Homo-oligomer: A and B are copies of this chain.
């Protein structure tokens, strides 16, 4: 029985990711929005005024949040929170997140700053929550009792990790992974991508994105040492090509991969593993966990972003067109909702898992 909800703060509450945090947390069984933080332009306003003209969600501002005052992102303002969710850009995140940790706050961050940090778990909640095991080490190394930083992955990395993890768990190490992404405009926030740039167009470049996929994948598919003090990178070779396409939400990714194991598993074995994959968030009955972590499509033309992105409130990933690859062993298409599991939903589900696993005691 949950007697009291954890008090949560949301940093960057007025931005694109922040707005999603608000929607996910306004009526959450474990968490209760306690404090909202944003940049100086919003400080001193109540939430609904701070996002005036910038609230771009298809549902309205939750009534119980509309009049919450927006604060400056200082430790002083948030020190009585149990958890802080950060939707900050990497600029402000670079100083605010470590300052909050130092003040013994638990920070669940969407920013890129600490993803590759040796002490910080980088967790896609559908895949590698075992990396939370580094947290005691992080606290010890930082000289802290409670404070830590947990990060979730870049939106385009998030989509591919669950199927890659499922296959690695079943068939051993992957050898090579080639991925080409077709990413939605919402991934760039608001105002983000100019209509002038993406209308009737493809932009075959997203700054820093390919490097993130390549590095984050190696960390997340890797393991934590048995003493819980260091991450061992998985020696998989990853090559990514990233494109922006005129789609609002939902990243499509075309993946080809090979296994180290020879002969490789059959296509039917691959499909079965993906279909039967179950993650810890499901077993723990985390509030945001999808009923099915990986939805495998048999129709030849699915998944599609417009039709599939909102399935299970965007908390799962979709895999389709699983078939033999003439160059590697298997190829398939992945779809994930970049603003949900690719961003705020991952942070929140990470916190739900951490809570269930006792890391928030």
Shortest Cβ distance from A202 into B: residue: B252
Which of the segments A66-74, A143-151, A184-192, A265-273 contacts the partner chain? A184-192
Beta-carbon contact of B256 and A204 below 8 Å: no
Tell yes or no: A300 within 8 A of B by CB.
Answer: yes
Which of the segments A80-88, A104-112, A277-285, A319-327 contacts the partner chain? A319-327
Which of the segments A92-100, A121-129, A130-138, A174-182 contacts the partner chain? A174-182
A304 to B58: give the CA distance in the assembly, Å. Answer: 10
Beta-carbon contact of A254 and B243 below 8 Å: yes
Contacts of A331 in B (CB 8 A): 239, 241
A248 to B198: give the CA distance in the assembly, Å. Answer: 10
Residue interface bits A187-226, CB-to-B below 8 A is 1, else 0 = 0001111111111111111000000001000000000000
Tell yes or no: A276 within 8 A of B by CB.
Answer: no
Q: How far is the CB of A125 from chain B (nearest CB, A)?
A: 24
Given the known interface contacts A186-B196, A196-B190, the answer about A201 and B243 at a Cβ–Cβ threshold of 8 Å is no
Shortest Cβ distance from A182 into B: residue: B202
Contacts of A310 in B (CB 8 A): 58
Q: Which of B58, B195, B201 contacts A185 (CB 8 A)?
A: B195
A192 to B177: give the CA distance in the assembly, Å. Answer: 34
Tell yes or no: A328 within 8 A of B by CB.
Answer: yes
Contacts of A308 in B (CB 8 A): 58
- Beyond known contacts A178-B328, A185-B196, A241-B254: 10 more, CB 8 A cutoff: A178-B178, A191-B196, A195-B195, A195-B198, A195-B246, A199-B200, A200-B247, A202-B304, A204-B333, A246-B246
Chain A interfacial positions (CB closer than 8 Å to B):
53, 56-58, 176-178, 180, 182, 185-186, 190-205, 214, 237-239, 241, 243, 245-248, 250, 252, 254, 256, 299-308, 310-311, 320-321, 325-328, 331, 333
17 A/B residue pairs, CB under 8 Å, sorted by A: A178-B178, A182-B202, A185-B199, A192-B196, A193-B195, A195-B195, A200-B247, A201-B247, A201-B305, A201-B307, A204-B303, A237-B327, A241-B254, A245-B245, A245-B246, A246-B246, A246-B247
